[in-house]
Amino acid sequence: MIEQRLDNLVLLVEAGYKDTPTPAAPMPTAPSFPSNHHSALHLELPHFDGDPFKWANFATMFKATIASRAKGHTNLEIRGHLIKAVKHPTGQKLLQNLPSEDMDMDSMLALLESKFGAPDVLVLLSS
């Protein structure tokens, strides 16, 4: 009996549920934010791919962008911007796994710099 059900389930999956009606999904609604909420959609940020030679430029540009265009953002919002800007999986994981939501931008950038900045390696590589 169970084997027959499994066989039927396999057949349905292979057929792509063509004969099985799918229930209508509820329409997603946009989240509502207070009127003073800052939209991240219009914030163009530099991107960082993990290249240590590009770290200093990225950090400087990110700080300048946040200082000029994201005044009033919370540390959590800045962390979200930083996660989107850092395209390297290790950097994203570091930021996503931070234990505190209150870590400020300079501390987050210092954490990333400890992983990607490596000035001693850059000196050796450029020699």
Check if the beta carbon of residue 116 is closer than 8 Å to that of residue 52. yes
**Would you list the domain boundaries of the chain?**
52-126
Closest CA to 92 of 101, 100, 103, 81: 81
pLDDT by residue (tens digit) across 55-84?
Answer: 999 999 999 999 888 778 899 999 999 999
pTM of the model: 0.60
pLDDT by residue (tens digit) across 3-60?
Answer: 554 444 334 334 444 444 444 555 444 444 444 444 444 678 999 999 998 999 999 9
Closest CA to 50 of 95, 117, 125: 117
Answer with the residue of higher pLDDT: 18 or 87: 87
What residues pair up with 48 in beta bridges, in sequence order?
86
